[in-house]
Structure 1
Amino acid sequence: MKETETQQTLTYTEEDIQVLEGLIAVRKRPGMYIGSTGSRGLHHLLWEIVDNAKDEALAGVNDSIIVTLYKDGSVSVEDHGRGIPTGMHKTGRPVPEVIFTTLHAGGKFGGGGYKKSGGLHGVGSSVVVALSKWLEVEIHREGKIHKQRFEYVVDANGTEHVGKPVTGLEITGNTKRTGTTVRFLPDDAVFGHARFDYETIRDRFRETAFLLKKLRMVLIDERGPEKKREEFYFEDGLKSYVSYLNEGKNALHPIVYFEGEKDNIYVELAFQYNDGYAETLVSYVNSIVTTDGGTHVTGFRNGTTRIFNEFARKKGYLKEKDPNLTGNDLREGFLGVLSLQMADVQFESQTKDKLGNEEARAIVEQIVSEKLGFFLEENPEIGKLLIDKALRSAEIREELRKQREALRGDKKGKTAKKRKSISEKFTPPQYRDSKRNELFLVEGDSAGGSAKQARNSEFQALFSLRGKPLNTEKAKLSEVLANEEFRTILEVLETDIGEEFSIENCAFDKVIIMSDADVDGSHIQTLLLTFFFRYMRPMIAAGHLYIAQPPLYQVKKQSKGKQTEAMYCWSDYELEQALKKVGRNAEVQRYKGLGEMNADQLWETTMDPETRKLIKVELEDLAHCEKLVTVLMGDKVPPRREWIENHVTFEVGEDE
């Protein structure tokens, strides 16, 4: 950021802290504030504190964030920012006490403390306190070290005190630096046995260091027999990010990077084309990922489409009679990162997935148009390469249109053959209800047979997969449409694909991948997920794709002449707890495939909406998904082997 933009950071005082409302019973309804009480919710607590430190970096006053994971399950976040103000608030309490015990108290409402932040996420400090056994804050400011501790306390009368200050704000020493350190212990009464995941935090830190260049992100893990420490620091910011995401792909040219600023909106873009067929744009506002895009992405697409077409006509690659190249043609194989920093961010939802500021569209379009136009003039050989790629994409559109016509069965004589092909693999539900019906994509005929008996035929449909599906990471769209398995899935879903995709036409509310808990089953899952990620991503974004979770174990107590109720376990931890409960003479059955369960068991454990476990497939981290799909399904074998060796297990995790 420019030096002039950091001058406002000198004024961060007690007057900048505003209180919107009193603390409510966060502990009673944690899902309202952190989404869940599983692994994702646990990590949300950490992100709340880390995001405050990131906002100090956005303000230009913090160069480091250090997170440490401790053996007792607690975690600390240290920054080198200005330090939380330590004076008295107008409510008569010390400012840190107000921040950590009052919901929606923070320095991001009036605009005095922060010009740029990720919305209001910094006000979640009190939520962290409410869901922790204890929290300690240490503040280095104005030459003094201040400390305060908060705890969850149940008094002698059984009354709960959430986030009770058990000490005042105490001065414990002198200091020559500034900054804030927050350490807290999440309450296992809320989160069960969920624990902080090193790799989840590491991935988030790497992403942050890419976005906020010259910010040092340090992760320390003291929980194992040997201390682990990783540090992320990228001088080249987004250029390094694109290089990281494009590893394993065949790049067509060096990374392109440019930046610009207008009306206090700072725009960065880095991109590189590869020889693939998918478009990947990861977008951010104030380091918050905008999964659903927004006005800044619209501006980017408008600008790139217009400038590429102007370049193609100027150079004679498009004749006067030729139609313009479409944005989809021009962005085939595109991989880029777009990042904005701006004040007064307006998101279109509480989840901050989509930017709504209209002024961002025009400014991004203007900056991208100017910078890209200049780049193409200076690098005409790269421009020609990309236009040639777009022209090849346009040439096959007619072929795809013809294949779509065949897919819809519009040609005479094809319909009967098509319907026979569908009926061999597809078992439809009795009623057509797109808001209720479920489609199970089932591995193999034997499992399909059990599932057919187990399902509720009113609203559950089955599609039996024959063999392993096509690896769509390495396939053109025309090859995907020519593949019998995927053609039939598309006919059943009724959504079409690519430019013609329509989520409104989807015949099912849920599409559920159901496969064995073994290597082959995981491979089939990955192939199907790759297909949906590359060619039907809106289905994931709309929350329609799920993975079924059949149990790994059945536990019964052996008893002569007595029937004992079976207990099902989805992880080794649950098996351990079940064995403790059953005690002696426990009988354990390990399920290796869906076909090993009878229809009643399959219904009860995997298909009954009242008792089953499903994992909802989400695009919370598009960049991580992009990287993972490339590693698992791309051409490079060594990174895939390394990932599988380090990650593959067949337990159901804690996520929802």
Structure 2
Amino acid sequence: MLPLRGKIINSEKARYDKVLSHNEIRLLISAMGTGIGTEEFDLAKLRYHKIILMTDADVDGAHIRTLLLTFFFRHMNQVIEAGHLFIAQPPLFKVKKGKVEKYLMSEREFEDFFLAAWVETAKVKVPGTKAPLTGEPLLELLRAVSEYRGLFGKLVKRGVPAPILAELLRGKFRGTKRGVGHAEIGEAITAAAAAVNGYSIRVTPGDNGDGHTVTIAGPPAVTFSTDVFKSADYATLVELWEKVGATAKGPTTIIEEGDRETPVKSLDALWALALERSRQGASFQRYKGLGEMNPEQLWETTMNPETRTLLKVTQEDAVGADQMFTVLMGDAVEPRREFIEKYALDVANLDI
């Protein structure tokens, strides 16, 4: 174990001599035994087969991990190429229900842990089905609802008003269908807006076959491109609608033990109630820092070679990795700002 005190120097910005004079970097080089630099580095002298980066699960931990990855990529790339660099994957949750106690690695595992037990006794009556769904079919429906809600919210963040998006899905509009261009997408959006009322829309053609710009009067005014409806996200959303559409249209009813019936009016309501009921009688803890675990938990979940989960650091695209480190960790501010502006709406987990 080599404890690093605080954030190490950003080796993408700092001069080489400053990197080498940084105390935590010197300790790391000494512990590994390889030396550093084109003349001194010798992979054969590496003292450990696995170099494992272990940081907290919050934003500070992510920053420290990124700084370490930058150092290895720029100054000890052979360690990555040889497959010796790993990232520890501590659990995100500890859950307990009845006599069952378990560590879970992700939000998806967390949801599945509770829902998988709940669907064994619960049922959901969906229009168009001969019998209420229960067991694995119900679990698959709930997973589809979860994925649908995530993608729907993502496209709404991109500027598409929720009522218009819902109307397009109800009409099973496919922007990726052969023969459907940006003009047709603009027409479909205008028709959907008219169907739900209350929207003043202007569609401006793009240049040289680019996507059209759709502007919806406010307040607040929103703008988005018809490219959204040619994206893989929208295509997946349409496929998910095929699975959840009948449930969304309703009437949908949850049936629990004792034949207790609870009607739900939307997918959001179904999802919220299913999670609420499935968690009854359970306790859980969300981890953000390794220090939140006691020594036994840390060993059991993150350090024990028999039970731990590691993520191997690989380098499939050296040129792409080089560009990414330059943009995100380098001196130039403008490329980093452009990157953030381009991908800000795709962020799934934001820790502020």
Q: TM-score, normalised by structure 1?
A: 0.27
* Structure with the higher strand share, 1 or 2: 1
* Structure with the higher helix share, 1 or 2: 2
Larger Rg: 1
Query: Larger relative contact order (C-alpha < 8 A, sep ≥ 6)?
Result: 2
